[in-house]
Homo-oligomer: A and B are copies of this chain.
């Protein structure tokens, strides 16, 4: 009756890694992917000139050991994110050009306020055990407060407030009023603190794989071979005493256990028979994703570098919230990426393609000059409307959810196990977290199966 050892659902980094580790250990496995491509919330396209564009997740940073190990295993080198030159910030009606993390030309009051808030966030993060943030001494207190409300009480300077509100809610691609303070602290703590999550150099955007994320997932998929089945959105998972029956668009897979790696709001679209335990099915109603555009603009050369600019800019409220240099390791052609998140991204959704392009390029040109108006190539990806991601970039928990339902994030439900970056204790929300979760789930199914049959 059972044809396979394991069935993995979703071929993002979590699912690919889980299937890889299971296959390597000699188990039979099938990986069902809804889309006609692998990669999940990462998606690399290769251009004729040999360059690549990461339309989704792109970066790695120090401490992300598991994605590092995967890259080493497949012989994929990394290169540093370009950070030379000045960054720019447009906040509270003022323009800042600066080097380093914070524009020191802000008012001393704003700089001091930011410093104090960063110290306070770092201190708060230290009290949060990433394996169980709901057990932090102040977990209940912090989980009943929104990030927006906490900022109200802790940022006395308007630019400091705007900066922290936009930086953090931008990361979760949702309004600051939607985010639990405990969730924000936990996500930062899971990566070592706020300076990692909000930073670039030596932090969350420190480096990129040569060839982009696709270089890694293509290598993994090549090793998996026909384990990976594309265009198979999973509609239902039934479990019984012997195994699971996973039904996709036109396949039926019988296996001992399933690992579901898709984002949590998407996992809720699968019909489970019998129903999942209450805590897990309620979690499925309570972890939304947000809105985000990632737009790559290709130019002959990275002209901003010659102007002494790093390519980094930050402009809350604009059609291009963030920009960052996204050249390949050769530095040519010039690739600049705009990322627009949350409310601004939802507004961009309402524009026609042509009007949106015009708005984004105009915003970028205001910062980098008219050369920005005429890219050779303009590659837009709207994660907001990706049916099988449910939005971008990471799912968050609103207030109350982490303390009420957090333990359900990883707890297996009978023969159904859970992976995906949101199920990772460490590096929650990063590609490294996805890899970790896939490895953890692969070990978990084998261990549970051994227990069940011993």
Chain A contact residues, CB within 8 Å of chain B = 140, 143-146, 148-149, 152, 174-179, 265, 268-269, 271, 275, 277-279, 281-282, 285-291, 343, 346, 349, 384-385, 387, 390-391, 398-401, 403-404
C-alpha spacing A398/B144, complex, angstroms: 11
Q: Which of B144, B277, B281 is the one whose CB lies under 8 Å from A149?
A: B144
Give the nearest-CB partner of A179 in chain B: B400
Cα A176 to Cα B349 with chains together (Å): 34
**A351 CB to nearest B CB, Å:** 12
In the bound complex, what is the Cα–Cα distance between A174 and B148 (angstroms)?
A: 22
Say whether, besides A268-B269, A286-B288, A177 and B343 are in contact (CB < 8 Å). no
Contact B278 A289 (CB under 8 A): no
Copies of this polypeptide in the complex: 2
Q: Report A174 CB to chain B, min CB distance, Å.
A: 7
A400 touches B278 (CB 8 A): no
In the bound complex, what is the Cα–Cα distance between A178 and B404 (angstroms)?
9
Inter-chain contact A146/B399, CB cutoff 8 Å: yes
Chain B residues, CB < 8 A from A288: 282, 285-286
Tell me the complex Cα distance, A401–B177, Å: 8
**How long is the Cα–Cα vector from A287 to B358 in the complex, in angstroms?**
35
Select which of B146, B269, B384 is within 8 A of A400 by beta carbon: B146
| Minimal Cβ-Cβ distance residue in B for A343 | B404
Additional A-B contacts beyond A178-B401, A398-B401 (4; CB < 8 A): A282-B288, A286-B288, A343-B404, A399-B399
Alpha-carbon gap, A387 to B426, bound state (A): 33
